[in-house]
Homo-oligomer: A and B are copies of this chain.
Amino acid sequence: MTEIDTQALIDTEAFLADLYALREIGRFRTGVHRPTFSAEDMESRRWLMAKLEACGREASIDGIGNVLGRHRGPGPHLLVGSHIETQNEAGWLDGALGVVAGVALARAGLPVDVVAFADEEGHFSGGFLGSRSAIGDLTEAEIDEARNRTDGTPLRDALANAGLAGLPRMQLDPGRYRGFLEMHIEQGTQLESAGLHLGVVSGIVAIWQFRIDFSGNQDHAGGTTMAERRDAGLSAVRLLAAIDREFPKVCGPRSTWTTGRITLDPGGFSIIPGRAEVFFQFRDVSMPVLERMEACLEALVRESNRRELCPATLTALSKAIPAPCDPALMRALSEAAEAVSPGGWQVMPSGAGHDAQNVARILPAAMLFVPSIGGISHHWAEDTSDADLVLGVRALGAAAARVLR
């Protein structure tokens, strides 16, 4: 199959028409409002099922809201999709793009199953309900406990209202698929600022999150000499300066680390802080890099405790496992990207979480990014040019064709 074949295969006008039609369901300014299991969300799922049937797929919805459009013929098969609900009053492409791209590949006659996972956006506590359910990682007990983050509605009530109570939950069959492809907007500015059109995702970073507490002595800033002080804030600044100095020596090429909050207690002009609390996290796609950064952080805290009068305590709050993308699928996406946009693409990690990170636990998975204008996402102004959307779906189709060859 050549590049020319691929261009012929995908009906990019129908693809854009589908995207624009879906945007009208729950429209909010230039974006949409389709929170999980709302009337608008369920309408979009029914709209999708009709589209899938029209493309010859056997469409179904399961007990957690996942929509699957199953190819009726023999394999090999690929799974293609994303999520269809949105953040509140948010963008028209986040999720929807990957689902509608799946429809476009189905319409082109590729033997793909198309999926729209439920609640990637985490309207219900826990998040990623649909993709976690589909890989067997969501228990009934979790469903019993989950509540809507905005209005507190129990998930069970929301499922019943949506007509989904009692339906079986589908499980993905790893034997059926060569892999999972998810097309998504970047939600950052890396492609735009590099003047590129496509990003082949190397993996979805894991976030390792820590709280660092420093315990000093609250004192009056006038009566206490520098020598007598146990200034928790100063110990915190010294540790953060050491992290700034040492992390570049152990990080990977695309690692990030962030201090999001520093709280000095009690926080008055004339009071030496008795306690300091720091929110710190780092991200990478590589487990060895994550472990190296953690070892560096632990060593710096130990050094702080040797030198400083204010004991520092390091508490790991969460340590996720990174989801590297499948090398063969990445190679297919890279070749397809080079075919449709020569020199206009790059390999890059995903700093945000996606359904693909869950699917990757049971299937080879990979992702393709298109640029976000101004990096805007989780806002109704989110957008991508039609030209980049079309480049993306053509590359996705070409990659799928290569994998299924």
| Contact of B256 with A267 in the complex, beta carbons under 8 Å | no
| Contact of B223 with A270 in the complex, beta carbons under 8 Å | no
| Contact of B268 with A189 in the complex, beta carbons under 8 Å | no
State which of B187, B189, B237 has its C-beta within 8 Å of the C-beta of A244.
B237
| Contact of B261 with A221 in the complex, beta carbons under 8 Å | no
Question: Using a Cβ–Cβ cut-off of 8 Å, how many residues does chain A contribute to the interface with B?
Answer: 52
| Contact of B188 with A220 in the complex, beta carbons under 8 Å | yes
Q: Closest CB-CB distance, A153 to chain B, in whole Å?
A: 25
| Contact of A259 with B241 in the complex, beta carbons under 8 Å | no
Residue of B nearest to A236 (CB): B262
- A190 contacts chain B at the CB level, 8 A cutoff: yes
State how many copies of this chain the complex holds. 2
| Contact of B283 with A259 in the complex, beta carbons under 8 Å | no
- A116 contacts chain B at the CB level, 8 A cutoff: no
With most chain B CB atoms within 10 A of its CB, the pick from A262, A268, A271 is: A262
Stretch at the interface among A51-59, A225-233, A292-300: A225-233
With most chain B CB atoms within 10 A of its CB, the pick from A207, A234, A237, A352 is: A237
Residue of B nearest to A219 (CB): B375
- A281 contacts chain B at the CB level, 8 A cutoff: yes
| Contact of B283 with A279 in the complex, beta carbons under 8 Å | no
Residues from chain B with Cβ under 8 Å of A190 in the complex: 223, 225, 228
Residues from chain B with Cβ under 8 Å of A375 in the complex: 219, 223
| Contact of A234 with B223 in the complex, beta carbons under 8 Å | no
Q: What are 25 inter-chain pairs, A to B, with CB distance below 8 A? A: A188-B224, A189-B224, A205-B222, A221-B258, A221-B283, A221-B351, A222-B352, A223-B375, A225-B254, A226-B256, A233-B262, A234-B244, A237-B237, A237-B240, A237-B241, A240-B241, A258-B269, A258-B272, A259-B273, A260-B264, A260-B273, A261-B268, A261-B269, A267-B279, A269-B281
